[in-house]
Amino acid sequence: MICAVDVQYDADCGYAAGLLFERWDALTPAATICKKQAGVGEYVPGEFYKRELPCILALVGELDQLPEYIVIDGFVFLDGHAHAGLGKYLYDALDGKTKVIGVAKTSFAGIGDDYKLLRGDSIKPLFITCIGLELAEAREHIAAMHGPHRMPVLLKTVDRVCREQALAGVAGTAPKLPQS
């Protein structure tokens, strides 16, 4: 199973959403999960993971079993290989039992061209980092995801679900997904 996650904030609450899917080229998720996490605190520059990680761990804790892969909105390594980002902290918190792929929309100092992925007709790359698998495999997985544009459809969907959940201020239920 693959789980794409995202987190949004409202005051001191974090709202995490996850889409579960079986295949990288899935058109729609098999399931949607949401979790509200109170007391996430303020954003501290350079310590983004301290705010985001508890929300993702609470969401993953709702699952019967860990997914084989978790796709995050952000970096696994800020420089691609050594400087830990959210994904590395997630991987460590899960004792290395789940492969983590980071998909970032903006570059970070130190990220080289090897981490860039162009999808569809976009001239702006995504930046792919990972742990538990080779970079080439992670890039192939994200490239294979459904959608003709820069951002895969399921990653755009989990972002939308997360934003809607935060706006609604509820947990445990997910917004209805469009039928395909």
- The domain that contains 155 carries what CATH number? 3.30.2170.10
pLDDT over 70 percentage in the chain: 92
Q: What is the pLDDT of residues 36-61, one digit of tens each?
A: 888 777 776 666 777 789 999 999 99
| Per-residue model confidence (pLDDT) at position 111 | 87
| Per-residue model confidence (pLDDT) at position 46 | 66
* 141 vs 12: which has the higher pLDDT: 141
| Per-residue model confidence (pLDDT) at position 170 | 54
Q: What does the alpha-carbon distance between residue 126 and residue 139 come to, in Å, rounded to a whole number?
A: 10
Q: Compute the C-alpha angle 138/5/107, nearest 5°.
A: 55
Residue at 177 is within a domain: no
Residue at 173 is within a domain: no
| Per-residue model confidence (pLDDT) at position 33 | 93
Which structural domain, as residue segments, surrounds residue 141?
Answer: 2-168
- The band of 135, judged by pLDDT with boundaries at 50, 70 and 90, is very high
Residue at 45 is within a domain: yes
Angle formed by the axes of helices 48-60 and 86-93, nearest 10°: 40
Residue at 176 is within a domain: no
Please give the C-alpha separations between residue 147 and each of 50, 55, 80, 121, in angstroms, as whole numbers. Answer: 32, 27, 25, 11
- 31 has which bridge partners? 20
Q: What is the pLDDT of residues 91-104, one digit of tens each?
A: 999 999 999 999 99
Residue at 178 is within a domain: no
Number of domains making up the chain? 1
Q: Per DSSP, which regions of the chain are E strands? A: 2-10, 13-21, 31-38, 69-73, 99-104, 116-117, 126-131
| Per-residue model confidence (pLDDT) at position 5 | 97
- The band of 160, judged by pLDDT with boundaries at 50, 70 and 90, is very high
Residue at 179 is within a domain: no
